[in-house]
């Protein structure tokens, strides 16, 4: 299930805490909205949390084969 050792040692309580933290973050950033437009996205990353921009960029940089510097 895991491609690395990451996550193999987590127990149910750890996963529940992480899930709760993610839910709180989503509620804080999005409120009750189920969709946002581009202007709302920009407002969120400028005023509330830049994580919506940086986290996908980090994942792409680490996981894409072409992201490695030679």
pLDDT, tens digit (0-9, with 9 covering 90-100), for 15-61: 888 888 888 888 888 888 888 899 988 888 888 888 877 877 777 77
Backbone angles phi, psi at 5, to 5 degrees: -75, -5
29 within 8 A of 52, measured Cβ to Cβ: yes
Instruction: Note the pTM of the prediction, 2 decimals.
Output: 0.50
The band of 1, judged by pLDDT with boundaries at 50, 70 and 90, is: very low
Q: Is the pLDDT of residue 6 over 80?
A: no
Q: How far apart are CA 44 and CA 31, in angstroms?
A: 11
Distance CA 56, CA 38 (A): 16
């Amino acid at each position: 299930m895991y491609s690395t050792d990451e996550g193999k040692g987590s127990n149910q309580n750890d996963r529940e805490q992480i899930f709760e933290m993610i839910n709180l973050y989503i509620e804080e950033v999005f409120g009750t909205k189920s969709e946002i437009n581009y202007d709302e996205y920009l407002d969120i990353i400028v005023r509330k949390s830049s994580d919506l921009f940086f986290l996908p960029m980090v994942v792409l940089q680490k996981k894409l084969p072409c992201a490695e510097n030679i």
